[in-house]
C-alpha cells in the first residue's frame, strides 16, 4: 500500500519530539575527514602493484592511484580517477559496504588491525571536487565526444540508468531518461537511510552528473501506465531499462493487510522525503521482519525516530543474515534487539472498548513460530510459538522484479536474461537489479549502466557481435573521454 505520513502509527511518542534532537539523530553517520586526516590516512596506503582493492570494487576504481593523488594534494585529479570509473562515487563512498569489498581486500588487514579507510578517502576526494564546482562553477570534468545522430532512451533514473545516461552522453549520444517518480535518483534518493545521505546529496550528485549535457529527464513516466516499451523502441535507436525491483515480497500470513503492517522500503522513503522529521510518528513497539541492510536501516531509523522498543525478527540465525556485520553491530549500538530462529505466523489486531469513555483502543501482536535446523540442515518449526506486542510491523523481506511490462522478453529466475546487457528484444538493453549481474548493490548498478552504454554504442555502431571481453580489451583506455591527466 502507498505510505503517506498519515499511515504512520499515531500512538508513538514522537509527535512532539524536539526538532534539534531528531536532527542530531539523523546527522551524518560518518563524519567526513578533514584535510589533515585524509592526508594521514592516505599515507597508510602501500600503493600495491596489482592491488586487490581494485579487483574487489565492482567498478574497478584505481584505488591506489586516487589515494596517491590525495597524498600529493591533487584532489581534483583524485576525484576524476574515481568518477571516470564510477560517476556516482559520492553516493557509493557513503553507502557502499566497503567493509566487504575494497576495504576487506586491503593488504593491511594481514599486517595491521585496520585497513585503509578507502570509503572515507573516496568521499573526501569527490566532495572536494563538488565543493570547488559549487564555489567557482568549474566545467564538468568529462567532455562529450562528437554528437551522434542516434538517440537513446533510458527507463529508470536510478544508479544504473543515470550511469548509463552519463556514459552514453560522453560517447556522443543524446539521452532521454524516463522516471516513474517525481524525482530522479532511485534507490539513492528513496531507499537509503537518511543518516547515510544527508544534505540532499543524492540530488546534488544528479545535478553534477547532468552538467555534461545531452541528458534530459522526464519524471512521472511509468512503464505500463503512461509509458510504452514498444513506443520507446520505435521512437529511439536503442533503449536501456533499469527499472529495478518494483514489487515487495509478501509474508503470506494472516493480518498482513492490516494498516499497521508496512513495507520497510516505503517507511524509509517517507523519512527520506520528509521536510520535518518531528511530523512523523512511529510505534512504541516496532517489529522489523527481515535480515538484510534494508531491515537494519528501517530498525535503526525507527529507534532514532523515538520508538521505545525495536526488534528485528529473522527465521534463521545471525550468521545467515545478508546484512553486513558492520550494519548489525550498528543496530545493536542503537538499541535494536534481535529475535533469531523466529518465523512470523500471524498479525493479530485486537480492539478493546472502554465503556467509561466509550472509546476503542487497538492493541496488536505478532505471533512467531520458533524455528530450528533439523539433522539435515533443513529449517523447521519446533511446534512452539510466542507473541510479541507491537503497534507497527515493517516488512523487509526483499523485493522482486515486476515482469508485467516485459512479457515478451526472456526471463529466468525472476530476472531479465541478457547477453552483453542486450535482452532478447533487438535494441533493448538492461542493467541494475532487474538482471542477474552480481550483488544488488548501488556500485554494481553503476557498473551495469556504464558497461551497458558501451554495449549500446557497440550495437549502434553495427559491431553487435563483438564479445564483452573483446570489447573491454579493445576499449581499456577511456582517457580520451575525459580531461583526466
pLDDT digits (tens, 9 = 90+) for 444-462: 999 999 999 999 999 999 7
**Tens digits of residue pLDDT in 203-251:** 999 999 999 999 999 999 999 899 999 999 999 999 999 999 999 999 9
* C-alpha dist (Å) from residue 472 to 144, 344, 475, 478: 20, 47, 5, 10
Closest CA to 239 of 356, 358, 127, 156: 156
HSE (CB half, 13 Å, CA atoms) of 455?
A: 25
Q: Is residue 127 within a helix (H) or strand (E), and if so which, with residue range?
A: helix 118-136
For position 361, what pLDDT does the model report? 79
Closest CA to 151 of 188, 176, 178: 176
Residue 354 C-alpha cell reads as 472502554
Query: Of the given ranges (25-29, 38-42, 218-222), which has the lowest mean pLDDT?
Result: 25-29
The CATH code of domain 35-136 reads: 1.10.1060.10
Place 478 in a pLDDT band, splitting at 50, 70 and 90.
very low
Place 470 in a pLDDT band, splitting at 50, 70 and 90.
very low
Query: Of the given ranges (9-18, 36-45, 87-96, 434-443), which has the lowest mean pLDDT?
Result: 9-18
For residue 367, how many other CB atoms are within 10 A of its CB? Answer: 17
15 vs 307, more confident = 307
For position 295, what pLDDT does the model report? 98
Residue 132 C-alpha cell reads as 570547488
Place 22 in a pLDDT band, splitting at 50, 70 and 90.
confident
Query: Is 50 exceeded by the pLDDT of residue 336?
Result: yes
May I ask the CATH class of domain 151-246+401-481? Answer: alpha beta
Query: Of the given ranges (91-95, 216-220, 262-266, 360-364), which has the lowest mean pLDDT?
Result: 360-364
For position 101, what pLDDT does the model report? 96
For position 111, what pLDDT does the model report? 85
Query: Is 80 exceeded by the pLDDT of residue 113?
Result: no
Residue extents of the structural domains in the chain: 5-27+248-396, 35-136, 151-246+401-481
Place 172 in a pLDDT band, splitting at 50, 70 and 90.
very high
Residue 94 C-alpha cell reads as 557513503
19 vs 396, more confident = 396
Query: Is 70 exceeded by the pLDDT of residue 416?
Result: yes
Cell 574515481 sits on residue? 82
Closest CA to 157 of 135, 177, 133, 127: 177
Cell 496488536 sits on residue? 364
Contact call for residues 327 and 315 (beta carbons, < 8 A) = no
Closest CA to 8 of 251, 181, 261: 261
Place 472 in a pLDDT band, splitting at 50, 70 and 90.
very low
Give the whole-angstrom CA distance, residue 16 versus residue 125.
39
Spatial CB neighbours of 439, under 8 Å, sequence gap ≥ 6: 58
Place 299 in a pLDDT band, splitting at 50, 70 and 90.
very high
Place 199 in a pLDDT band, splitting at 50, 70 and 90.
very high
- Classify residue 159 by its DSSP letter: H
Q: Which CATH code of 3.30.420.130, 3.40.50.300, 3.50.50.60, 3.40.50.1110 fits the domain covering 5-27+248-396?
A: 3.50.50.60
Give the whole-angstrom CA distance, residue 328 versus residue 27.
19
In this structure, are strands 261-263 and 392-396 parallel, antiparallel, or unpaired?
parallel
* C-alpha dist (Å) from residue 249 to 131, 221, 326, 400, 402: 40, 24, 25, 7, 11
Closest CA to 456 of 446, 466, 441: 466
Give the whole-angstrom CA distance, residue 100 versus residue 279.
36
Closest CA to 312 of 349, 366, 260, 259: 366
For position 19, what pLDDT does the model report? 79
Give the whole-angstrom CA distance, residue 98 versus residue 53.
10
**Tens digits of residue pLDDT in 53-80:** 999 999 999 999 999 999 999 999 999 9
Percentage of residues in the chain having pLDDT higher than 70: 91
Give the whole-angstrom CA distance, residue 337 versus residue 329.
11
* C-alpha dist (Å) from residue 340 to 316, 384, 393, 482: 6, 14, 16, 50
For position 481, what pLDDT does the model report? 42
- Ranked by mean pLDDT, the top range of 83-92, 106-115, 137-146, 359-368 is 83-92
Interior angle at CA 264, CA 261 and CA 266, nearest 5: 95
Compute the average pLDDT of residues 385-414. Answer: 95
Query: Of the given ranges (11-25, 94-108, 185-199, 377-391), which has the lowest mean pLDDT?
Result: 11-25
Give the whole-angstrom CA distance, residue 293 versus residue 296.
5
For residue 114, how many other CB atoms are within 10 A of its CB? Answer: 11
Q: Do domains 5-27+248-396 and 151-246+401-481 have the same CATH topology?
A: yes
Compute the average pLDDT of residues 86-96. Answer: 97
Percentage of residues in the chain having pLDDT higher than 90: 82
For position 21, what pLDDT does the model report? 84
Instruction: Show the beta-strand stretches assigned E in 31-171.
Output: 151-155
Sign of the CA dihedral with 400 first, then 402, 407, and 409 last: negative
For residue 384, how many other CB atoms are within 10 A of its CB? Answer: 10
Query: Is 50 exceeded by the pLDDT of residue 485?
Result: no
Mean pLDDT score of the chain: 90
**Tens digits of residue pLDDT in 251-261:** 999 999 999 99
Give the whole-angstrom CA distance, residue 142 versus residue 387.
57
**Phi (first) and psi of residue 188, to 5 degrees:** -60, -35
Place 351 in a pLDDT band, splitting at 50, 70 and 90.
confident
Buried b (16+ CB within 10 A) or exposed e, 424-450: ebebbbbbbbbbebeebbbbbbbbbbb
Contact call for residues 281 and 198 (beta carbons, < 8 A) = no
Amino acid at each position: 500500500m502507498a505510505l503517506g505520513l498519515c499511515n504512520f502509527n499515531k500512538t508513538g511518542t514522537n509527535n512532539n519530539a524536539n526538532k534539534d534532537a531528531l536532527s542530531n539523530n539523523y546527522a551524518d553517520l560518518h563524519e567526513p575527514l578533514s584535510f589533515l586526516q585524509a592526508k594521514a590516512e592516505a599515507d597508510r596506503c602501500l600503493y600495491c602493484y596489482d592491488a586487490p582493492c581494485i579487483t574487489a570494487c565492482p567498478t574497478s576504481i584505481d584505488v591506489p592511484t586516487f589515494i596517491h593523488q590525495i597524498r600529493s594534494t591533487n584532489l581534483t585529479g583524485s576525484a576524476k580517477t574515481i568518477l571516470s570509473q564510477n560517476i556516482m562515487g559520492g553516493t557509493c563512498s557513503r553507502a557502499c559496504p566497503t567493509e566487504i569489498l575494497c576495504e576487506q581486500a586491503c593488504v593491511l588487514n594481514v599486517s595491521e588491525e585496520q585497513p585503509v579507510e578507502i570509503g572515507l578517502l573516496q568521499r573526501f576526494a569527490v566532495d572536494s571536487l563538488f565543493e570547488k564546482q559549487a564555489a567557482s562553477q568549474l566545467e564538468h570534468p568529462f567532455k562529450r565526444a562528437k554528437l551522434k545522430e542516434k538517440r537513446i532512451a533510458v527507463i529508470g533514473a536510478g544508479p544504473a540508468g543515470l550511469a548509463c545516461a552519463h556514459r552514453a552522453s560522453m560517447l556522443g549520444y543524446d539521452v532521454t531518461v524516463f522516471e516513474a517518480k517525481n524525482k530522479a535518483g532511485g534507490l539513492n534518493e528513496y531507499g537509503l537511510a537518511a543518516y547515510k545521505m544527508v544534505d540532499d546529496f543524492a540530488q546534488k550528485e544528479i545535478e553534477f552528473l547532468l552538467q555534461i549535457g545531452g541528458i534530459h529527464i522526464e519524471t512521472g513516466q511509468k512503464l505500463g501506465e503512461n509509458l510504452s516499451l514498444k513506443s520507446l523502441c520505435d521512437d529511439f535507436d536503442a533503449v536501456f531499462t533499469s527499472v529495478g525491483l518494483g514489487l515487495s515480497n509478501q509474508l503470506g500470513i494472516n493480518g498482513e493487510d492490516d494498516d499497521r503492517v508496512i513495507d520497510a522500503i516505503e517507511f524509509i522513503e517517507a523519512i527520506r522525503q520528509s521536510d520535518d522529521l518531528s511530523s512523523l510518528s512511529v510505534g512504541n513497539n516496532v517489529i522489523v521482519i527481515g535480515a538484510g541492510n534494508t531491515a537494519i536501516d528501517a530498525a535503526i531509523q525507527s529507534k532514532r525516530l523515538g520508538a521505545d522498543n525495536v526488534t528485528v525478527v529473522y527465521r534463521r540465525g545471525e550468521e545467515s543474515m545478508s546484512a553486513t556485520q558492520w550494519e548489525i553491530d550498528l543496530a545493536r549500538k542503537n538499541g535494536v534487539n534481535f529475535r533469531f530462529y523466529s518465523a512470523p505466523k500471524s498479525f493479530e489486531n485486537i480492539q478493546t472498548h472502554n465503556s467509561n469513555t466509550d472509546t476503542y483502543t487497538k492493541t496488536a501482536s505478532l505471533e512467531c513460530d520458533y524455528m530450528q535446523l533439523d539433522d539435515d540442515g533443513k529449517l523447521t518449526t519446533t511446534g512452539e510459538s510466542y507473541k510479541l506486542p507491537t503497534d507497527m510491523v515493517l516488512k523487509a523481506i526483499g523485493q522482486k522484479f515486476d515482469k508485467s511490462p516485459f512479457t515478451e522478453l526472456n526471463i529466468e529466475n525472476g530476472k531479465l536474461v541478457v547477453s552483453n546487457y542486450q535482452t532478447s528484444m533487438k535494441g533493448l538493453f538492461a542493467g541494475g537489479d532487474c538482471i542477474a549481474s552480481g550483488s544488488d548493490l548501488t556500485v554494481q548498478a553503476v557498473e551495469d549502466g556504464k558497461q551497458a552504454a558501451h554495449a549500446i554504442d557497440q550495437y549502434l555502431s553495427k559491431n553487435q557481435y563483438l564479445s564483452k571481453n573483446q570489447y573491454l580489451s579493445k576499449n581499456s583506455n577511456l582517457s580520451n573521454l575525459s580531461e583526466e591527466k
